[in-house]
């Protein structure tokens, strides 16, 4: 067990600061010809060697997975399915960030509750920044909602229930990033509101602010996370009452989103149309189709074809090469036509797509085995909440975030795993602590 002396206080402070910075402050990046360096990488690059050398330790399973992914990457380089630069750029980042968060958990003596309290406190602050952004737009105070002075993008205002509002992104690059870093906090806020004995810090007002800003982000990814969270909040013990309440809340939420949030309506209808074949993925981008949904579906088709040809995948960092081989959607966002760009060519638009493409069917099976194996439905109360909150993040990433280590994703992977392990280890007979 790691014990801190007074001399180590500065190290603990640095660790806490770096931990929260790496989750929330993905403000932008330095775009170099060969790589994009996000500003918060600097904290990890500086802090990781310090804590690695000071608290030298290795997790067996993390090491085994890392060795497997390295061998898979090297083999595919020799087979011509990937290039060494693309592989190392992603693999080194994955390795550093997963070990960085592992060392933080280790240094904190596996006190996941302490780390989640730090996270939730900043999530509350982040939500209030979002409220400031919302009201600043309403009164025309540009400095309060336009954060280009922080290196952030300006969001295009859009409509909810006939009212034009500014999509909340707070200190992140876009609403999708905002809901991603807030998704675990959103689940905790629901628990705070619906569970009387929930050991969640902060007030119910804070919880409502988190929920309000989450909804007003206007992010379809966030609404998906909300559906997952509502299901999890009522899933710990099944009863007719809970099934009815959860079903009613989910139905009302979906109906409201489809009818009062045009952006969500467009994306929802596009996804349904793609699944049912009413929109073909090789069609020209049309005004009635949501571009982000087409991009997501297109990358799924590319990833699936790559997995068919390479069941073990083509290695980390290789999806852009799969895109070149299999893409046939000739629209402006795949590099065709005037003012064309190639969107999500590296991250496959979702973690599910990227794992499918770069680790194949074996990777997808392993991922869902991990999710099922370490899901914590009942047990030590605080561990159940941490486990389920982390699961919301993982599901959100599988849907929409194809980056392996941005916005603290490795931290939530590790918390999902350790919450189950620690709950089994510290299972108590005190029923007040069990759900």
pLDDT at site 27: 56
pLDDT at site 286: 45
CB 185 within 8 A of CB 123: yes
Please determine, for residue 433, whether its predicted confidence score (pLDDT) is greater than 50. Answer: no
pLDDT single digits (tens) 392-426: 999 999 988 888 888 889 999 999 999 999 988 87
User: Which has more pLDDT, 244 or 199?
Assistant: 199
pLDDT single digits (tens) 329-345: 766 556 555 555 667 78
pLDDT single digits (tens) 57-85: 778 888 999 999 999 999 999 999 999 99
CB 307 within 8 A of CB 360: yes
Please determine, for residue 429, whether its predicted confidence score (pLDDT) is greater than 50. Answer: no
CB 395 within 8 A of CB 376: no
pLDDT at site 339: 54
CB 51 within 8 A of CB 15: yes
Q: Name the one residue in this structure whose structure tokens are 């067996």.
A: 60
Share of the chain above pLDDT 90, in %: 30
Backbone φ/ψ region at 147: left (φ over 0), alpha (ψ -120 to 50), beta: alpha
User: Which has more pLDDT, 46 or 278?
Assistant: 46
Res. 2 pLDDT band, cuts 50 70 90: very low
Please determine, for residue 93, whether its predicted confidence score (pLDDT) is greater than 70. Answer: yes
Share of the chain above pLDDT 70, in %: 71
CB 105 within 8 A of CB 112: yes
pLDDT at site 160: 61
pTM value?
Answer: 0.83
The answer to which of 151-160, 369-378, 420-429 has the lowest mean pLDDT is: 151-160
pLDDT at site 120: 93
pLDDT at site 392: 95
Please determine, for residue 94, whether its predicted confidence score (pLDDT) is greater than 50. Answer: yes
Count CB atoms within 10 A of the CB of residue 272: 12
C-alpha distances (whole Å) from 285 to each of 59, 291, 294, 331, 358 are 47, 7, 8, 6, 27
């Amino acid at each position: 067990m790691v014990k801190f002396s007074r001399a180590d206080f500065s190290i603990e402070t640095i660790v806490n600061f770096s931990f929260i910075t790496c989750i929330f402050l993905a403000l932008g990046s330095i775009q170099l010809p060969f790589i994009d360096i996000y500003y918060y990488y600097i904290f990890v690059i500086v802090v990781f060697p310090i804590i690695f050398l000071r608290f030298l330790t290795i997790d067996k399973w993390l090491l085994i997975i890392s060795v497997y992914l390295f061998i898979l990457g090297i083999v595919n380089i020799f087979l011509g399915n990937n290039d060494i630069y693309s592989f190392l750029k992603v693999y080194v980042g994955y390795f550093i960030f997963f070990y960085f968060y592992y060392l933080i958990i280790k240094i904190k003596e596996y006190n996941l509750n302490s780390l989640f309290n730090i996270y939730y406190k900043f999530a509350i602050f982040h939500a209030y920044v979002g409220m400031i952004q919302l009201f600043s737009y309403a009164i025309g105070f540009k400095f309060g909602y336009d954060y280009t002075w922080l290196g952030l993008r300006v969001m295009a205002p859009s409509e909810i229930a006939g009212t034009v509002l500014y999509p909340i992104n707070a200190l992140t690059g876009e609403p999708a990033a905002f809901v991603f870093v807030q998704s675990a906090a959103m689940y905790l806020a629901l628990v705070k509101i619906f569970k009387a004995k929930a050991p969640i810090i902060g007030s119910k007002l804070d919880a409502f602010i988190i929920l309000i800003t989450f909804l007003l982000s206007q992010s379809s990814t966030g609404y998906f996370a909300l559906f997952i969270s509502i299901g999890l909040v009522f899933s710990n013990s099944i009863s007719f009452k809970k099934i009815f309440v959860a079903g009613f809340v989910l139905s009302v939420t979906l109906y409201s989103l489809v009818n009062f949030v045009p952006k969500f309506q467009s994306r929802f209808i596009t996804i349904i149309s793609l699944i049912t074949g009413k929109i073909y993925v090789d069609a020209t981008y049309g005004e009635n189709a949501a571009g982000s949904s087409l991009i997501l579906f297109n990358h799924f088709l590319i990833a699936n074809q790559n997995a068919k040809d390479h069941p073990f995948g083509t290695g980390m960092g290789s999806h852009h090469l799969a895109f070149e081989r299999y893409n046939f959607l000739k629209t402006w966002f795949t590099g065709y036509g005037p003012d064309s760009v190639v969107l999500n060519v590296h991250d496959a638009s979702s973690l599910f797509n990227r794992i499918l493409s770069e680790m194949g069917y074996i990777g997808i099976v392993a991922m869902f085995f991990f999710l099922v194996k370490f899901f914590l439905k009942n047990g030590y109360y605080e561990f159940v909440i941490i486990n389920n909150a982390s699961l919301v993040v993982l599901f959100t990433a599988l849907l929409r975030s194809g980056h392996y280590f941005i916005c603290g994703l490795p931290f939530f992977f590790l918390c999902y795993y350790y919450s189950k392990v620690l709950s089994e280890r510290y299972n108590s007979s005190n029923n007040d602590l069990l759900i």
